[in-house]
Amino acid sequence: MSSGNRQRTNSQSRLQSSRRRAFIKSVGVGGVAALAGCAGSNNESEGESDGGSGTETAGATTGGSDSVTLELIWFNGQATEENLSAYDDAIAAFEESTGHTVDVTKTGQVGQIVNQVQTGVQAGDPVSIAAIPAGACQTLANKEIIEPLDSYIDDADTFSRSDIIRGKLDISTRDDTTYAVPIMSGHWGSLFYNANMLEQAGYDPMNPDFETWPEFISVAEDVKEAVGVQPVGFSGADHIHTTVQWSGFFHTTGRKSWLNEDQTDTFLDKEAGISCAEFTQSAVEKDLLPSGTANMNANGLRELFISEELFAYQVGGFENAILKEQSDIDFGITWNPRAPDGENSGFSGGIFYTLPRGSENQDEAFALIEHLMQLKWLNQYAQLPPVRPDGLQSFFEGTTDGIGRDVSNIFIEEVSNSGFPTIHVNQSRMWEAQRREIQEIILGQKTAEEAMTSLADRVRELL
Question: DSSP secondary structure string, 272-335?
Answer: HHHHHHHHHHHHHHTT-SPTTGGG--HHHHHHHHHTT--SEEEE-TTHHHHHHHH----EEEEE
**Smallest distance, Å, CB 229 to another protein?**
10
Task: Closer to another protein by CB, 91 or 294: give it.
Answer: 294
- Contacts with another protein by CB under 8 A lie at 27-28, 30-38, 40, 42-45, 48, 111-112, 114-115, 118, 122, 135-136, 139-140, 142-144, 236-240, 290-296, 303-304, 307, 309, 428-429, 432, 435-436, 439-440, 443, 445
- Side-chain half-sphere CA neighbours of 29 within 13 A: 20
Task: Read off φ and ψ for residue 250, nearest 5 degrees.
Answer: -60, -45
Task: Closer to another protein by CB, 44 or 285: give it.
Answer: 44
**Smallest distance, Å, CB 179 to another protein?**
14
**Smallest distance, Å, CB 301 to another protein?**
11
Write the burial class of residue 374 (CB in 10 Å: 0-12 exposed, 13-18 middle, 19+ buried).
Answer: middle
**Smallest distance, Å, CB 25 to another protein?**
10
Whether the Cβ atoms of residue 185 and residue 165 lie closer than 8 Å to each other: yes
Question: DSSP secondary structure string, 36-105?
Answer: TT--S--HHHHHHTTS---EEE-------TT--EEEEEEE-TT--HHHHHHHHHHHHHHHHHH--EEEEE
Non-local CB neighbours of 195 within 8 Å, separated by 6+ positions: 205, 206, 330, 331, 332, 402, 403
Whether the Cβ atoms of residue 283 and residue 311 lie closer than 8 Å to each other: no
Type of residue at 133? P
**Smallest distance, Å, CB 102 to another protein?**
26
- Element containing residue 353 per DSSP (H, E): strand 351-354
Task: Closer to another protein by CB, 164 or 296: give it.
Answer: 296
**Smallest distance, Å, CB 76 to another protein?**
18
**Smallest distance, Å, CB 234 to another protein?**
12
The CA distance from 342 to 255, in Å, is 9
Task: Closer to another protein by CB, 3 or 43: give it.
Answer: 43
Task: Closer to another protein by CB, 142 or 158: give it.
Answer: 142
**Smallest distance, Å, CB 259 to another protein?**
18
The CA distance from 100 to 219, in Å, is 59
**Smallest distance, Å, CB 430 to another protein?**
10
**Smallest distance, Å, CB 290 to another protein?**
6
Write the burial class of residue 270 (CB in 10 Å: 0-12 exposed, 13-18 middle, 19+ buried).
Answer: middle
- Element containing residue 167 per DSSP (H, E): none
Task: Closer to another protein by CB, 48 or 364: give it.
Answer: 48
Non-local CB neighbours of 13 within 8 Å, separated by 6+ positions: none
Task: Closer to another protein by CB, 338 or 435: give it.
Answer: 435
Task: Closer to another protein by CB, 91 or 441: give it.
Answer: 441
**Smallest distance, Å, CB 29 to another protein?**
9
Task: Closer to another protein by CB, 150 or 303: give it.
Answer: 303
Type of residue at 305? F
Task: Closer to another protein by CB, 5 or 43: give it.
Answer: 43
Task: Closer to another protein by CB, 116 or 417: give it.
Answer: 116
The CA distance from 349 to 331, in Å, is 25
Task: Closer to another protein by CB, 206 or 443: give it.
Answer: 443
Radius of gyration of the chain measured on its C-alpha atoms: 23
The CA distance from 267 to 357, in Å, is 34
**Smallest distance, Å, CB 47 to another protein?**
9
Mapping DSSP to helix (H, G, I), strand (E, B) and coil, where does residue 432 land? helix
The CA distance from 209 to 401, in Å, is 17
